[in-house]
Structure 1
Amino acid sequence: MAIHALTMLGRWDDRSLTSAEIADSLASNPVLVRRILGNLRDAGLVWSTEGRGGGWTLARSPREITLHDAFTAVEEGPVLSRHAHPPSEACAIGRHMEALLEKEFRAAEQAMEERLSRTTIAHLVQEAVTRERELSER
Structure 2
Amino acid sequence: MKKLSSRFSVAVHVLCLIHLSPSLCTGDFMAASVKTNPVIIRNIIAKLKKAGLIDVRPGVGGAFLLKHLDEITLLDVYNAVEVIDNGELFNIHAEPDPNCPIGKNMVAVLRSEMRAAQSAMEQRFAQVSLRQLVTELGEKNGT
TM-score (norm: length of structure 1): 0.89
CA distance in 2, matches of 1:40, 1:10: 14
Q: 2-side partners of 1:80 and 1:40: how far apart?
A: 23
Identify which of 57, 60, 65 aligns with 1:49: 57
Tell me how far 1:91 sits from its aligned partner. Answer: 0.6
Q: Is the 8 A contact 1:39 1:73 kept in 2?
A: yes
SS in 2 for 1:133: coil
**Percent identity over paired residues:** 35
Query: 2:29 & 2:55 partners in 1: Cα distance?
Result: 16
Amino acid across the alignment from 1:48: V
Give ranges in structure 1 of 5+ residues lacking alignment.
none
> Using the alignment, how far apart are the partners of 2:13 and 2:38 within structure 1?
14
Separation (CA, whole Å) in 2 of partners of 1:9 and 1:65: 13
Moved over 6 A (4+): none
Measured on the aligned residues, the alpha-carbon RMSD in Å equals 1.4
* 2:73 match: 66
| TM superposition shift of 1:62 | 1.1
TM-score normalized with structure 2 length: 0.86
Q: Hey, what does 2:4 align to over in structure 1?
A: none
1:98-120: per-residue Cα shift (whole Å, max 9, x none)?
01111111111010000001111
One-letter amino acid of the structure 1 residue matched with residue 28 of structure 2: A
The letter of the residue matching 1:59 is L
**Cα distance, 1:126 vs. partner?**
0.7
Equivalents in 2 of 1:45, 1:82: separation in Å?
32
Equivalent residue for 2:42?
A: 34
Q: Distance in 1 between matches of 2:19 and 2:91?
A: 32
Do residues 79 (structure 1) and 86 (structure 2) align? no
User: How far apart are the structure 2 equivalents of 1:24 and 1:81?
Assistant: 33
Gaps of 5+ in 2: 1-9
Contact 1:45/1:58 (<8 A) preserved: yes
The 3-state SS of whatever aligns with 1:80 is coil
